[in-house]
Amino acid sequence: MITRDTNAFLDAARGCAPDFGPATAKAAFLVSPEGFTRADESASDNRYMADAGGFDAQRAGTQHRGLQAALSSVLPTLCFPGNPAAPDGLFPNNVFATAPGRLVVGRMRHPVRQREAARPDIRGFFRDVLGYAEIDLSTQPHACELTGALVIDRARGLGFCGLSERCDEAGARLMHEAFGLRATLLFDLAPGEYHTNVVLAVLAGRAAIVCPDGFADPAVVEAIAALYAPHAAQLTPAEHAAFAGNAISASADTVWMSEGAAAALSSASRDVLESAGFAVHPVPLDAIEAAGGSLRCCVAEIY
């Protein structure tokens, strides 16, 4: 099922057992922030990006190495070298994503990011080292920026796909099929939002972080909150602006977000996460956030 009907989606989702697959990834990979500069094409529809003067390449590199070290404490975390000609390459989850036994390569909206999809080393790693089959969506015409646009409940096989310039309905359908999902809810992001994973996180299949201001239709927020109740944290605009929605569960009992995001969390939001059995792990990433993304955007999961 792939639908815009929140009631139909809820009916289907509530009938899905948490037996679709592992709730969290078995490993992850990053791409280092070589040539860390402002990509003007990407900035045209990413309001979170700083001006060129706000970019500190040395500090971003240090923080990125710290992120790899931190995540390595709970799951194997690889890092591929960055390419100065691809300044957004440190956000690989938009271009590469996996399901058990297969690699999905997305189609990026902007040409500056489309070149990332051609990387032979990342494709070769999955093909020749891991033996994964490849589903290449990068050459078809519909934008589908993978787990930037599509947030997935891996335990139940559910997708939440926010439509914007970075993903249209045809692209959403292609991703739904590539990941083999049971049900996907389509909805419009609020004006000015570029990716779903900035306004929504599903944590190990049992909790959700939702930024209501990031959705065009409040009914979608209500449906997601109802599905994960009582473990659905609805964030304030201040938490949203601090990237608290751009979080990831890298293991069954941890949720990772930037240090700034964690500092912005309200006591109510922390209580929701703690009641769901998650410990919040903050990582300093303010330099990387100048590029318009945060911790979740940096992490490409390996299932």
Q: How far apart are CA 81 and CA 135, in angstroms?
A: 23
What would the mean pLDDT of 237-243 be, rounded to a whole number?
98
Domains and CATH numbers, the chain: 2-302 (3.75.10.10)
Count the Cβ atoms, other than its own, within 10 Å of residue 68: 18
pLDDT in tens, 277-296: 999 999 999 999 999 999 99
CA distances from 81 to 36, 118, 202, 207 (A): 12, 14, 28, 33
Residue 35, pLDDT > 90, answer no
**3-state DSSP assignment of residue 1:** coil
| Token pair in block for residue 134 | 């490849």
Question: Beta partners for 284?
Answer: none
* Percent of the chain scoring above 70 in pLDDT: 100
Is the CB of residue 208 less than 8 Å from the CB of residue 225? Answer: yes
What's the pLDDT band for 189 if we cut at 50, 70, 90? very high
The pLDDT score that the predictor gives to residue 112 is: 86
Question: Beta partners for 203?
Answer: 207
Q: Which of 13-27, 48-62, 136-150 has the lowest mean pLDDT?
A: 48-62
* Per-range mean pLDDT, top range of 49-53, 55-59, 120-124: 120-124
Terminal alpha carbon distance of the chain: 22
Residue 49, pLDDT > 80, answer no
Give 285's contacts (C-beta < 8 A, 6+ positions apart). Answer: 63, 67, 258, 259, 260, 294, 295, 298
SS (H, E, C) 63-84: HHHHHHHHHCCCCCEEEECCCC
The pLDDT score that the predictor gives to residue 37 is: 83
DSSP state of 93: G
Nearest to 157 by CA among 301, 276, 13: 13
| DSSP character string of 210-262 | E-GGGBS-HHHHHHHHHHHTTSEEE--HHHHHTTTTS-EEEETTEEEEEHHHH
Give the CA-trace dihedral at 205, 254, 222, 210, to 10 degrees.
-130
Q: Among positive and negative, which fits the CA dihedral 133, 186, 151, 289?
A: positive
For 72-228, strand residue ranges (E) read 77-80, 96-99, 102-105, 133-136, 150-153, 158-163, 183-188, 200-203, 207-210
CA distances from 290 to 73, 147, 294 (A): 26, 20, 9
pLDDT in tens, 99-123: 999 999 999 998 989 999 999 999 9
Q: How far apart are CA 58 and CA 66, in angstroms?
A: 13
Between strands 102-105 and 96-99, the pairing is antiparallel
Residue 47, pLDDT > 80, answer yes
Q: How far apart are CA 195 and CA 45, in angstroms?
A: 10
Stated pTM of the model: 0.96
The pLDDT score that the predictor gives to residue 39 is: 79
pLDDT in tens, 208-238: 999 999 999 999 999 999 999 999 999 999 9
